[in-house]
Amino acid sequence: MSNIIITEVTQIIEAIEAIKISKAIKITEAIEAINATCTCESCKTDITLETAIPCDLCDEDEISPLYCKECTLWCDSCDLQGCKKCVKENVCWECNYNMCDNCINTDVDCGCFGECYSCGKDVDRGSDGWPCLGCDKWYCCNCRESNNNPCEDCGPES
Ligand SMILES: [Zn+2]
Ligand SMILES: [Zn+2]
Ligand SMILES: [Zn+2]
Ligand SMILES: [Zn+2]
Ligand SMILES: [Zn+2]
Ligand SMILES: [Zn+2]
């Protein structure tokens, strides 16, 4: 082999080594990024960035603060995950429904409360049961048993 070829081969080997080293650095950086920790905004526990859960409902300078799993809740209405300040636990004592601030501010509800189809009185799952599966109507206890309810499933004839 001539000296020129040897020099070229050496240069190629050096270039390959350089690529290997830069890849190794990138991999190390990636691992460091995965293992990077932050502090849960609520309980101040150290958590990895990978497991940290941002709360998009917290409005702090447009940066979502990060929380650990224990300090967050799912909204049962819109399936959004957020911190316990922004997603309220057990907004309904009947079904332990959790609800985010967005959903609380709208008319969404868990389905445990409604109005009697006949008299308009407030009904709830605890004292009036669910709407009838036969007629789809939700009556209060009194109207359900009254002769005004023609339904074969839930009416007085049943
Ligand atoms: Zn926490
Ligand atoms: Zn929040
Ligand atoms: Zn929600
Ligand atoms: Zn409920
Ligand atoms: Zn009624
Ligand atoms: Zn019925």
In a domain, 97, yes or no: yes
What would the two tokens of residue 119 be?
């008299």
Phi, then psi, of 67 in degrees rounded to 5 = -135, 160
What would the two tokens of residue 146 be?
């009254």
At 136, the pLDDT band (50, 70, 90 cuts) reads: very high
CA of 111 to the centre of ligand 4 (A): 6
CA of 154 to the centre of ligand 6 (A): 4
- pLDDT at position 62 is 78
CA of 123 to the centre of ligand 6 (A): 15
Could you give the 3-state DSSP secondary structure of residue 90? strand
CA of 120 to the centre of ligand 1 (A): 44
CA of 94 to the centre of ligand 1 (A): 27
CA of 122 to the centre of ligand 5 (A): 8
My answer on whether 10 and 65 are in the same domain is no
The number of domains in the chain is 3
My answer on whether 31 and 42 are in the same domain is no
C-alpha dist (Å) from residue 56 to 71, 79, 87, 141: 14, 13, 11, 42
The ligand whose atoms approach the alpha carbon of 121 most closely is 5
- pLDDT at position 44 is 97
CA of 88 to the centre of ligand 2 (A): 10
At 1, the pLDDT band (50, 70, 90 cuts) reads: low
Q: pLDDT of 37-87, one tens digit each? A: 999 999 999 999 989 999 989 877 778 999 999 999 999 999 999 999 999
Q: pLDDT of 10-33, one tens digit each? A: 898 898 898 888 888 888 887 776
My answer on whether 55 and 84 are in the same domain is yes
CA of 70 to the centre of ligand 1 (A): 6
In a domain, 154, yes or no: no
- pLDDT at position 158 is 62
